[in-house]
Every structure is written in structure tokens, then in C-alpha cells.
């Protein structure tokens, strides 16, 4: 133990991949910690990723903890639905997961009296910022070995080979993949070129569109939260898993975006997110039925700000609390059902019902004369005034122009 650490322990966000694996010896050799504990947080990654983390931890003799944060994460994803959250077409799976993961690791670090907390992110991406925004609220030292030591993949591979670190296999193929309950992202290698057409085999959650038989799904919402599918109540995790599978079979929820990262880099990203697409589509359709036009248009600004903060990993910001005040207020009426049609890669709302529907069959119908004391002819005055200011402005402009040519 070096003298300037209060304890000799550091907690490391650990996946068992190359970056976090090389961090284990580096935290000892370069940062002087005697003991490293690895923490993997379950936000719905595939089983194989936990197997890889366990196996790698065992081979490294690393004390390793797995924390289940699936429900906390799924609940946050459903909060995101209430805010129709997306960033440039991406429903924010990785972004939403990071604060949940960071918080869970911080709790483990505190329980084990760690003096520091570390991640294996590079200095180019968003995740370093999202993790540290949470960790820097604590007094623990924050360490980012890959960024601070300027490591490259090539260097890491050589270092791992020299030290005989267990880095074979697992998720080290051509693409860099991040998977959780809400989205699966695929980036890197050829895919970085915006002109490269992604091959079908980058997709794992979504089948090629057009092979499944069209189906209807009925979603029930309560206060803006989805609570049941086809009449069957489900908790947040089960509901998202169910829809990922069901809509994934139709090839729903693929996006290919030029993403503007926080540091200013523009990076091409491919995503799969069938459940998110279905829930966001249905939720917006229900808002369309129950909210007034002015609430809907103002809420777009709220939703956009919410999404921006979520992308930045700053869902704890006071602004988000304030935005959620507006979201909560509007969502008290977002209760009802929406039926969506899953068909050939598309999800469309085809029916909606709510006791809060701002809809009067009588008022909208062409067959009723007087409704609420208003009759058709009452629109005449409105029609006379409609566009009046523009007509006036145009005639003034014409008049000035004519006066000019007559001089
Ligand atoms: N660009 C996305 C984000 O910042 C996802 C990045 C996921 N990482 C990956 N290796 N595919 O939220």
C-alpha cells in the first residue's frame, strides 16, 4: 500500500473485455493499489457476457461482484418512454444504463471501503463522462487508466500477451457491441465508414423484415407507464423483454445514425431496439389522443431537453427534476390502450382508447348542426380574420414598392 491512499482498495467497473482486463494489473503497478475488486452490473446483457466476466475474473484472481440492477434500469427506461426519449433516433440504451451502473459500482466501492473507483473507458467516448458524473459526487478518487495512460488497443493486446492475461474469445470480434435491456449498439471497424452498408449479420435482436406474419399488439398504459401487453400485466423487465422478442421478429427497431457525441466527434452508430420503438410509438399515439395541441407542442421541447440530459448521463441534474414535474403533470391523463400493428420492419399505432380522450364524436362529425352552442356558421368570423395580418402586411409591402417605382 502506498502511503497517500487511505485504503489500499480500488473498485473497477469490470466486463472481462480487453480494456478492463488490462486495468487490473495496471491499477496495482501504475497506481499503487494492493487490491482491486471487479464489479459487473446486470442491466440485461446476454448471459455470455457474465460468463466471460466470471471466467476472466477467476483467471485473474480478481475478487468479483455481480450486481443485479435490471429492474432499476428497466424502470428508468419506462421513465424515458414518458418523455418520448430519443437522441438523434437512438433511444438511449447505453446512455440510460451508465448512471445506473455507476451508482451500483459506487455502492459496492463504499461497502468495501475502497479509496478509489475506476473504469476502462477511453478518452474518446461518452461513457467516461457518464460514469464520472456519478462518481465525482463521492469523495473517492476516480481513475481512468486507459485514458490517463494513453493506451491503444494494440498496446493493450501486447501487454496482455506479455502478462499472459486471459483475453481470448468473448466479445472481441470485429464490431464493438454494447447490449442491455433497452438497446443493442454495434460500432467500429468497417461500420465507422458512413458509406459502408451494414451487412445483415450485425443484427442479433431483429430478424430481416418481411418474414413474420403481421400482428396486432395491444398496450395498456397507466399514467404514461406501459403496464400490460394484450391484457397481461407485466413488470418493467418482463414487458421490455417480451416486446424485444416479439417486435424483433418483425425486424422492428433498427436505426443507423450519424451520432454527435458529447466531445464533438460524429460517429456512425447502428442500433437495435424493438421494444423501445414499440413503446415510444404507442406512448406518443396515446399522448396524441389525450393531450391538447399546446401541451403536445410544449412537451416536445421538454422531451428534447430530457433526452439531451439523458444522453449526457446527467439524469440527476436539477433541470431533469423540473422537466419531470411537467412530464408527471401531463402523464396523469396518459392512461388507456393503444393497438400497434407490427408489419415488415414497421410498428404503427392503429387504434387508441382512453377515458381522457380529447375527442368528441359529436363535435368532429359532419352530421351534427349545433354542439356546445357552436354552429357551423360561427366559423365564418374566424375565417374572415384568419391570415388577416399577413394579408395586411403583403398589401403594405406592395404599396411601398409601387410608390417606389412611381417616383
Ligand atoms: N454511442 C452510444 C452512446 O454513447 C452507444 C455506444 C455503445 N458502445 C459500443 N461499444 N457499441 O450512448
For residue 3, being part of any structural domain is answered with no
Whether residue 400 is found in the same domain as residue 285: no
Whether residue 165 is found in the same domain as residue 194: no
Whether residue 120 is found in the same domain as residue 213: no
Q: How far is the CA of 185 from the centre of ligand 1 (A)?
A: 6
Digit-coded pLDDT (tens) for 286-339: 999 999 999 999 999 999 999 999 999 999 999 999 999 999 999 999 999 999
Is residue 98 within 8 Å of residue 321, measured between CB atoms?
no
Which residue, 144, 177, 210, sits at the end of a domain?
177
Digit-coded pLDDT (tens) for 333-365: 999 999 999 999 999 999 999 999 999 888 788
| Mean pLDDT for the chain overall | 95
Q: What is the pLDDT of residue 1?
A: 41
Whether residue 158 is found in the same domain as residue 223: no
pTM: 0.94
For residue 265, pLDDT over 70 is answered with yes
| Beta strands 232-233 and 254-260, pairing class | unpaired
* 269 CA: nearest ligand 1 atom: 1
Q: What is the pLDDT of residue 367?
A: 78
To test the pocket of ligand 1, the residue of 205, 269, 313 to mutate (highest count of ligand atoms within 8 Å of its CB) is: 269
The position carrying cell 468495501 is 112
Q: What is the pLDDT of residue 362?
A: 81
For residue 75, pLDDT over 70 is answered with yes
Whether residue 315 is found in the same domain as residue 211: yes
Mapping DSSP onto H, E and C, the string for the chain reads CCCCCCCCEEEEECCCCHHHHHHHHHHHHCCCCCEEEEEEEECCCCHHHHHHHHHHHHHHCCEEEEEECHHHHHHHHHHHHHCCCCECCECCHHHHHHHHHHHHHHHHHHHCCCCEEECCCCCCCCHHHHHHHHHCCCCCEEECHHHHCCCCHHHHHHHHHHHCCCCCCCCCCCCEEEECCCCEEEECHHHHCCCCCCCHHHCCCCCCCCCCCCEEEEEEEECCEEEEECCEECCHHHHHHHHHHHHHCCCCCEEEEEEECCCCCEEEEEEECHHHHHHHHHHHHHHHHHCCHHHHHHHHHHHHHHHHHHHHCCCCCHHHHHHHHHHHHHHCCCCEEEEEEEECCEEEEEEEECCCCCCCHHHHCCCCCEECCEEHHHHHHHHHHCCHHHHHHHHHHHHHHHHHHHC
Digit-coded pLDDT (tens) for 124-158: 999 999 999 999 999 999 999 999 999 999 999 99
Task: Give residue 383's pLDDT band: very low, low, confident or very high (50, 70, 90).
Answer: very high
Q: Residue 240 sits in which domain range? A: 178-353
Whether residue 173 is found in the same domain as residue 183: no
Whether residue 242 is found in the same domain as residue 188: yes
For residue 407, pLDDT over 80 is answered with no
Digit-coded pLDDT (tens) for 218-244: 999 999 999 999 999 999 999 999 999
Residue closest to 277 by CA, chosen among 90, 79, 72: 90
Q: Distance between alpha carbon 28 and the CA centroid of its chain, in Å?
A: 34
Whether residue 56 is found in the same domain as residue 98: yes
CA distance 331 to 356: 11
Q: What is the pLDDT of residue 312?
A: 98
Ligand 1 contacts (CB < 6 A) are 94-95, 126, 176-178, 185, 187, 259, 269
Output the CA angle 308-136-260, nearest 5 degrees.
Answer: 25
Q: What is the pLDDT of residue 237?
A: 98
Digit-coded pLDDT (tens) for 1-45: 444 566 899 999 999 999 999 999 999 999 999 999 999 999 999
Whether residue 334 is found in the same domain as residue 380: no
Is residue 110 within 8 Å of residue 257, measured between CB atoms?
no
CA distance 254 to 199: 13
Whether residue 266 is found in the same domain as residue 307: yes
Q: Quick one: what percent of the chain has pLDDT higher than 70?
A: 97
For residue 170, pLDDT over 50 is answered with no
Q: How far is CA 254 from CA 126, 150, 250, 289, in A?
A: 21, 34, 11, 27
Q: What is the pLDDT of residue 171?
A: 44
To test the pocket of ligand 1, the residue of 89, 183, 187, 270 to mutate (highest count of ligand atoms within 8 Å of its CB) is: 187
Is residue 127 within 8 Å of residue 13, measured between CB atoms?
no
Q: Which residues contact 109 (CB under 8 A, 6 or more apart)?
A: 11, 37, 39, 116, 117, 138, 140
Q: What is the pLDDT of residue 169?
A: 52
b/e map 269-308, b = 16+ CB within 10 Å? bbbbbbbbbbbbbbbbbbbebbbeeebeeebeebbbbbbe
Q: How far is the CA of 261 from the centre of ligand 1 (A)?
A: 9
Whether residue 91 is found in the same domain as residue 136: yes
Instruction: Provide the number of structural domains found in the chain.
Output: 3
Q: What is the pLDDT of residue 24?
A: 98
Q: How far is the CA of 169 from the centre of ligand 1 (A)?
A: 21
Looking at residues 103-109, what average pLDDT do you find? 98
For residue 375, being part of any structural domain is answered with yes
Q: What is the pLDDT of residue 192?
A: 92
Q: What is the pLDDT of residue 2?
A: 45
Q: Quick one: what percent of the chain has pLDDT higher than 90?
A: 90
For residue 4, being part of any structural domain is answered with no
Residue closest to 8 by CA, chosen among 41, 31, 26: 31
CATH number at residue 230: 3.90.1260.10
Q: How far is the CA of 130 from the centre of ligand 1 (A)?
A: 12
Q: What is the pLDDT of residue 92?
A: 98
* Closest C-alpha residue for ligand 1 atom 7: 178
Amino acid at each position: 500500500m502506498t502511503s497517500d491512499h487511505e485504503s489500499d482498495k480500488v473498485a473497477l467497473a469490470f466486463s472481462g473485455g480487453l480494456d478492463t482486463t488490462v486495468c487490473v494489473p495496471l491499477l496495482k503497478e501504475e497506481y499503487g493499489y494492493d487490491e482491486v475488486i471487479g464489479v459487473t452490473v446486470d442491466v440485461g446483457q446476454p448471459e455470455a457476457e457474465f460468463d466471460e466476466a466470471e471466467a476472466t475474473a477467476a483467471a485473474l484472481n480478481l475478487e468479483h461482484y455481480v450486481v443485479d440492477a435490471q429492474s432499476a434500469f428497466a424502470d428508468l427506461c419506462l421513465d424515458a418512454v414518458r418523455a418520448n426519449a430519443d437522441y438523434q433516433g437512438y433511444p438511449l440504451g447505453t446512455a440510460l444504463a451508465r448512471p445506473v451502473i455507476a451508482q451500483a459500482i459506487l455502492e459496492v466501492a463504499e461497502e468495501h471501503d475502497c479509496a478509489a473507483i475506476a473504469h476502462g473507458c477511453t478518452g474518446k467516448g461518452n461513457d467516461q463522462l457518464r460514469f464520472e458524473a456519478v462518481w465525482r459526487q463521492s469523495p473517492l478518487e476516480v481513475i481512468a487508466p486507459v485514458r490517463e495512460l494513453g493506451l491503444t488497443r494494440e498496446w493493450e493486446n501486447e501487454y496482455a500477451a506479455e502478462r499472459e492475461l486471459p483475453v481470448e474469445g468473448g466479445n472481441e470480434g470485429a464490431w464493438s457491441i454494447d447490449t442491455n435491456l433497452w438497446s443493442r449498439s454495434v460500432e467500429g471497424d468497417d461500420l465507422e465508414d458512413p458509406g459502408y452498408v451494414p451487412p445483415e449479420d450485425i443484427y442479433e435482436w431483429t430478424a430481416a423484415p418481411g418474414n413474420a406474419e403481421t400482428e396486432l399488439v395491444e398496450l395498456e398504459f397507466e399514467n404514461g407507464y406501459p403496464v400490460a401487453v394484450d391484457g397481461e400485466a407485466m413488470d418493467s423487465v418482463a414487458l421490455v423483454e417480451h416486446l424485444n422478442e416479439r417486435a424483433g421478429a418483425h425486424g422492428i427497431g433498427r436505426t443507423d445514425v450519424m451520432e454527435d457525441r458529447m466531445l464533438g466527434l460524429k460517429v456512425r452508430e447502428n442500433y437495435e431496439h424493438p421494444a423501445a420503438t414499440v413503446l415510444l410509438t404507442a406512448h406518443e399515439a396515446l399522448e396524441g389522443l389525450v393531450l391538447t395541441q399546446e401541451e403536445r407542442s410544449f412537451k416536445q421541447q421538454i422531451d428534447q431537453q430530457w433526452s439531451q440530459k439523458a444522453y449526457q448521463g446527467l439524469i440527476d441534474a436539477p433541470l431533469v427534476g423540473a422537466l419531470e414535474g411537467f412530464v408527471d403533470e401531463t402523464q396523469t391523463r396518459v392512461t388507456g390502450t393503444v393497438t400497434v400493428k407490427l408489419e415488415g420492419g414497421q410498428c404503427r399505432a392503429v387504434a387508441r382508447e382512453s377515458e381522457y380522450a380529447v375527442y368528441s364524436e359529436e363535435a368532429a362529425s359532419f352530421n351534427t348542426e349545433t354542439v356546445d352552442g357552436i354552429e357551423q356558421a360561427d366559423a365564418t368570423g374566424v375565417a374572415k380574420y384568419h391570415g388577416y395580418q399577413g394579408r395586411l402586411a403583403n398589401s403594405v409591402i406592395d404599396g411601398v414598392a409601387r410608390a417606389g417605382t412611381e417616383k
